Amino acid sequence: MVDILYEDNHIIVVIKPKGILSQADGSNHDDMLTIIKDYIKEKYNKPGNVYLGLVHRLDINTSGVMVFAKTSKAASRLNESIKDHSFKKRYIATVEGEIWNDDYLELVNYLNKDENLKKSFVSPNGKEAKLKYKRLKVYKINDITVSDVDIILETGRFHQIRCQMANIGHPLYGDKKYGSKIEINKEELPLTAYYLEFPHPTTKEILSFNIGDKS
């Protein structure tokens, strides 16, 4: 069952659950690209291969809003939106420790991805990674102090939020790969891409989708 937020002839916007890949990687995990292709094929009774463009990704343990392109022209224009920064993404994450700032602070690091470890590291020779974050609330989970943070992602590096927040001493709750000592299901990391905004590839209308509750 595909959770669809919006669909027309050019794009389809959906909610990706945790535990599902954005695109197949040779493992046995389900992936959104295949699921949505199957949905389109069945709904519109399309024979043969169905075109669907993957514009951006979410990690397997991240849920949230994704847009896919139903034509190559739409894919090209959405990619242009990413390059000119009119493609905007926000996340809610639960991190360990107390975050103090009620206004956005910017983090700028340079990240390298280790392909063997499937992990990013801060490195002076890496690619620039930028995000802004602020505190939403502070509370406890099993006597551990945690903070919900609102994150504006300005670049799209591998594991960027996980790596950058861990680098300032606030790993995601239960994210053992990035320094947490807490045991949780690794596919249940508390990270959600709750907001997506971009210009429609043909009408240029600014579309926005918000599945978060920041109250």
Give the domain range for residue 159: 4-210
Question: Does residue 215 fall inside a structural domain?
Answer: no
Catalytic residue among 59, 102, 143, 148: 59
What is the residue whose two structure tokens read 């990619």? 79
Dihedral angle sign, alpha carbons of residues 106, 112, 115, 119: negative
Distance CA 46, CA 48 (A): 7
Question: Does residue 167 fall inside a structural domain?
Answer: yes
Domain CATH code at residue 28? 3.30.2350.10
Distance CA 169, CA 4 (A): 36
Interval 7-18: pLDDT, tens: 999 999 999 999
- Asked about 103 being catalytic, the answer comes back as no
What is the residue whose two structure tokens read 């519109």? 44
Rounded to two decimals, what is the model's pTM? Answer: 0.92
Structure tokens at 176: 């053992």
Mean predicted lDDT score pLDDT of the chain: 93
Give the per-residue pLDDT at 215.
Answer: 33
Interval 101-123: pLDDT, tens: 999 999 999 999 999 999 999 99
CA R_g for the chain: 18
Number of domains in the chain: 1
